[in-house]
Amino acid sequence: MKYDLILKNGNIIDHEGNISKEKSIFIKDGKILEIEKFESNKDIEGERIIDCKGKFISPGLVNLHAHSPMNIFKGIAEDVDIDTWFNEEIWPYESNMTGEDVYIGALSAISEMINNGVTAFADHYMEGERISDAVIETGIKGDIALTIFGMSDNFEEELENTGKIIEKRREENSRLNLRFGPHAPYTCPGDTLKKIIDKAKKLETGIHIHLSETEDQVKISLEKTNKTPFEVMHDAGGFDIDCIVAHGLWMKEEDRKFLNKNTYIAACPKTYMKLSSGYGTLWDDFKNKPLAIGTDGAASSNTLDPMEQLRLYALIGKINKKDAEDFSLKEMWKMLMKGHEALDFNSGRLEEGYAADLLVWDLNKINTLPLYNPLASIIYSSNAGNISYNIVDGEILKEEGILKLSNKVIEKEIVQTSEDILKRSKGNTKLVY
């Protein structure tokens, strides 16, 4: 058989952090067909053969919660409290955004994510069609939640249009998945959250929502409804379908009964540190929670690097729990890989039949040497420069450390976009954090 791509004689790191030495991965039609020793005496042909001797091959990384267009706001709201961040900076600037702003921001974010080893991401933002366009054009995989605010003046019309977009584009590309994105219970008041969830059920798709992001959100929800945000979500039927929960930082113990095998929580610790959101409960009994890693938007996290977020999560856990033995390397690696389970892309496993969404790591560099423990080198020492190849469905998006996307063009466009945003300045918004 002639394969499309062969990754020859690399060291494999599977989804549980186990390492197998000198194995080759044989890829055809975007899928892994075989994993075995490469024997030169066998009649093996490959359209492309990459020698990975001395390097490590792992599944790609998933960013389970991002606001990719917010790359155009990177650094625009610094050293402010969370109320000011939302109400006086981000939401007023967002009110003047255009579809082209969204597209340029998404392109910039995708380029950054590919460089950082991301093969699939879950996004939550307005103008989801433009983000979808960027996904299809760039080769990455995207699970795009089309954001809806229940307090919108034309909510019913927006809900109907969102459903039409999902029906129209859901089969457009195997690398694109669409779902509903109710922003949060506090911005989807009354019965609007249930209407969104009912629509998602009707179209047999999932949702992506912010829940219990801050301690105040939980307190206000209890005061107004006598329910936690998780309980509001449950009563609206939101946990009956596939659900990505952004943050859940202040999820209460009694909220855990609402979680099920179709629910995943995206932890984004850099944002919590940046906006001083508090320690919360995400580190409590973490092994029994459906946790994966997100980055949030670049306006709060400043980078779209899941490995950085994982590193912070582990270190925060160790110091707050006063236990250096907890939050172990393998446990953290499993959390990083869990994002694949939340997305319907048949990825995340180095097994026959799974999507060839892979990274080739070069750990023979000064920042990761000496190589006593490859997982430690990746989780605590690596950076984007250690990722030689980023491969999605067998297609190479990053080769020998160089992105296939033209960053020069994107850089020029995002600089122009940022200048336009400042000229337009802030607009008016009905959203109140």
CATH 3.20.20.140 fits 61-342, yes or no: yes
pLDDT at site 8: 95
Nearest Cα to Cα of residue 306 among 47, 37, 112, 43: 112
CATH class of the structural domain 2-59+358-403:
mainly beta
Which neighbouring-strand residues pair with 27? 5, 32
More confident: 164 or 416:
164
Using the predicted structure, report yes or no on whether residue 152 has a pLDDT greater than 60: yes
* pLDDT single digits (tens) 123-137: 999 999 999 999 999
Beta strands in 290-413, from DSSP E residues, in sequence order: 291-293, 358-361, 387-392, 395-399, 402-403
Encoded amino acid at 242, one letter:
D
pLDDT at site 37: 76
Angle separating helix axes 192-202 and 155-169, nearest 10 degrees: 20
Using the predicted structure, report yes or no on whether residue 388 has a pLDDT greater than 90: yes
* Domain boundaries along the sequence of the chain: 2-59+358-403, 61-342
The C-alpha atoms of residue 179 and residue 170 are separated, in whole angstroms, by 9
* pLDDT single digits (tens) 100-123: 999 999 999 999 999 999 999 999
Encoded amino acid at 55, one letter:
K
Let me know if the fold of 2-59+358-403 is the same as that of 61-342: no
pTM of the model: 0.96
